[in-house]
Chains A and B, each alone.
Chain A
Amino acid sequence: SQKIEQNSEALNIQEGKTATLTCNYTNYSPAYLQWYRQDPGRGPVFLLLIRENEKEKRKERLKVTFDTTLKQSLFHITASQPADSATYLCAFSLNGATNKLIFGTGTLLAVQP
């Protein structure tokens, strides 16, 4: 069956370090991969989108990679800050004809000051 797994339920890092979150998938051939941030009691907020033919995308302190051979995406936050503490979700869109997203389980990131 189709499955998306994010590396861990929780990740604790020190302020200023780089946080690396992992998203692995099986039995998919996603067309697009997206990363969202979700704070408690709020809806997810879009961060980055990367297509299957793109290896890397950057936006300010954020970087996402997409390896279709390893069936994995890595999400990096450099120079992390306590304000980056949240749950981060990866999501796939299987084709370009739908907005249906299949979400991973999420990783709760805690950045310690």
Chain B
Amino acid sequence: KAGVTQTPRYLIKTRGQQVTLSCSPISGHRSVSWYQQTPGQGLQFLFEYFSETQRNKGNFPGRFSGRQFSNSRSEMNVSTLELGDSALYLCASSFRTGGSNTEAFFGQGTRLTVV
């Protein structure tokens, strides 16, 4: 079974630009969550999607948005990039929302550098 796939692996963008990151969950998984990881703040929750609906959103500005498609693939978008958006963006998929089986499978991440 293929794992969680995130593309691209690395990105360099300029301040003010926008970026779209993609995540393909494990086949059969309908829940996708996104996290931002930085050395100073650690892993912080961005949003969670289940069956194309956003179920939770973290404490990030409106420049961060996401969506999920009918095949469970998900994208996140960051507009008007700032230097502080440089981070490792991780996607995690789970079989379902909540319940005892909440093990999350993470992708390799997308390393975004804003210059």
Known: A43-B90, A43-B108, A46-B105. A100 touches B56 (CB 8 A): yes
In the complex, which range does the number of interface residues on chain A fall in?
Answer: 20 to 34
In the complex, which range does the number of interface residues on chain B fall in?
Answer: 20 to 34
Query: How far, in angstroms, from A78 to B84 measured CA to CA in the complex?
Result: 39
Cβ–Cβ < 8 Å partners of A93 in chain B: 98, 102
Q: Is B4 an interface residue (CB 8 A)?
A: yes
Q: Do B104 and A99 have beta carbons less than 8 Å apart?
A: yes
Instruction: Tell me whether chain B's interface is mostly helix, strand or loop, or mixed.
Output: strand
Q: Is B42 an interface residue (CB 8 A)?
A: yes
- Residues on B lying within 8 angstroms of A by beta carbon are 4, 31, 33, 35, 42-45, 48, 50, 55-56, 58, 90, 92, 94, 97-100, 102-109
Q: List 12 A-B contacts (CB under 8 A).
A: A32-B102, A44-B106, A46-B103, A49-B100, A51-B100, A98-B55, A98-B97, A98-B98, A99-B33, A100-B45, A101-B104, A104-B42
The list of the 4 closest CB pairs from A to B, nearest first, reads: A43-B106, A103-B43, A96-B98, A97-B98
